[in-house]
Amino acid sequence: MTTSSVPARVGRRAVLAGAAALAVAGGAFPASPAHAVNATHSTVVGAKPAAWTPHALDGTVYRILQVGNRVYLAGSFTKVRNANTSAQLAMPRLVAFDATTGRIDTTFKPVVNGTVKALAASADGRSIYLGGAFTTVGGVAAPRVARVDAVTGARVAGFAPAALNNQVNDMRLVGTRLLVGGAFQTVGGVTRRALAALNATTGAADASVNLRLEGPRVTSSGVTAPVKIEALDVSADGRRLVFAGNFSSVAGQVRHQLAVANLTTSGATLSGWSTTRYQPQCSRSIPTYLRGVDISADGAWFVAVTTGGAFPGTLCDTATRFEFGTETTGKQPTWANHTGGDTLLSVAVTGAAVYVGGHQRWLDNPSGRNSAGPGAVSRPGIGAINPTTGRALAWNPTKDRGVGTAELYATDRGLWLGSDTVTVAGEYHARVAFLPLP
């Protein structure tokens, strides 16, 4: 694995150099290792998992991040163990291990008191940002956001984040700002629903990102939920932000569940890009059904994945590709791949494939209604889609389904999976697995 101080990304140095030049010119934010895009692969990863990865013995792995030769797992788990050992280690919610050997680092002990759902590396790779449902780290107040030393897990002095009143689901570091999305409604006591920015050094609230998310969706049976963001992503050049969640209005404009914003050094503005394809209702018990988004490495397109049930003519239970293109309304998908009634939770765009994870049974199943319709292919728990055609690739390692594959994270050596289940390709890999490139 790479031994650099930033997360490995094939071709990423050139991309970030371009972003830095734009920043100097007053355009995009300055470059940083923001986990904005997955690594670019020239081929599909193998179907046999590496034997050396550790195991999370309970809960769910929600997020995976590599910084140099260290991999971090975040989630709701409380116990872990090394591969080929029986000794259980009480290391709740955040753990680090060697990216080459898989050995857990027992000296990394951040002591987080609640679920961790988001990770981002600092610009210098010496610390990591955490987001989630926790309220303390190391016994000190840290209301849903924290920054810890990448080696020891100790809190970084001087970072005292503005208090968020509910959990963080996703985050990206973009220049001097830490963008956070989640279920919170206030930041530092000020109304800032679902999306906010914090100063990456001090943690203070940054008022320059205020897109005014409003309008929680309500189903025909009256089911609703607070305004929230389920997932977000930032393009590698730092110019675009895509976010998905429970809202119907952004910056005073109609945006159902999915929106695009333009990022500059002065803040964020709503893009004219919009689609009405996520306005229809799916299940009457699910007001918001988008669950994951990922932008391509070249920043030209992205894929969104959903839950919601099988409803003809909708994008419920699909992986769907959209082009950015011109900033106009009425955008339509390039393609949509239907599961036929099962949830997709995660997506990773690598160039060779669009990997999708959830508790799906099939892909290529637009006519399926909790059944395998004409042309459906079995892809339990994880699958790969051709980025151009939108059809399932032959790759099929198989995975037990559970609630589903919550995380897909591609590095220059392969693809990491995080979930709540224990079997991949017929082998025991508890809640985390790594599928190397051939």
Which letter, b or e, does each residue of 196-231 get, where b requires 16 or more Cβ atoms within 10 Å of its Cβ? bbbebeebbbbeebbbbbeebbeeeeeeeeebbbbb
Count other Cβ atoms within 10 Å, centred on residue 427.
Answer: 12
Tokens for 131, please give them.
């987001």
Residue 149 to residue 136: CA distance in whole angstroms: 15
What does the pLDDT look like over 288-316, one tens digit per residue? 999 999 999 999 999 999 999 999 999 99
Question: What amino acid occupies position 402?
Answer: G
Where the chain has pLDDT below 70, the residues are 1-36
246 within some domain: yes
Residue 287 to residue 285: CA distance in whole angstroms: 7
Tokens for 179, please give them.
């963008």
2 within some domain: no
Q: Output the pLDDT for position 267.
A: 95
Q: Output the pLDDT for position 6.
A: 31
The model carries a pTM of 0.93
Which letter, b or e, does each residue of 42-61 get, where b requires 16 or more Cβ atoms within 10 Å of its Cβ? eebbbbebbeebbbbeebbb
4 within some domain: no
Residue 250 to residue 256: CA distance in whole angstroms: 9
For the chain, the domain total comes to 1
DSSP 19: H
- Cβ pair 245, 290 in contact under 8 A: yes
Residue 72 to residue 95: CA distance in whole angstroms: 6
What does the pLDDT look like over 178-188, one tens digit per residue? 999 999 999 99
Tabulate helix, strand, coil % of the chain (nearest 5).
Answer: 5, 40, 60
1 within some domain: no
CATH number of the domain where residue 286 is located: 2.130.10.10
Range of the domain at 333: 12-436
Residue 299 to residue 291: CA distance in whole angstroms: 20
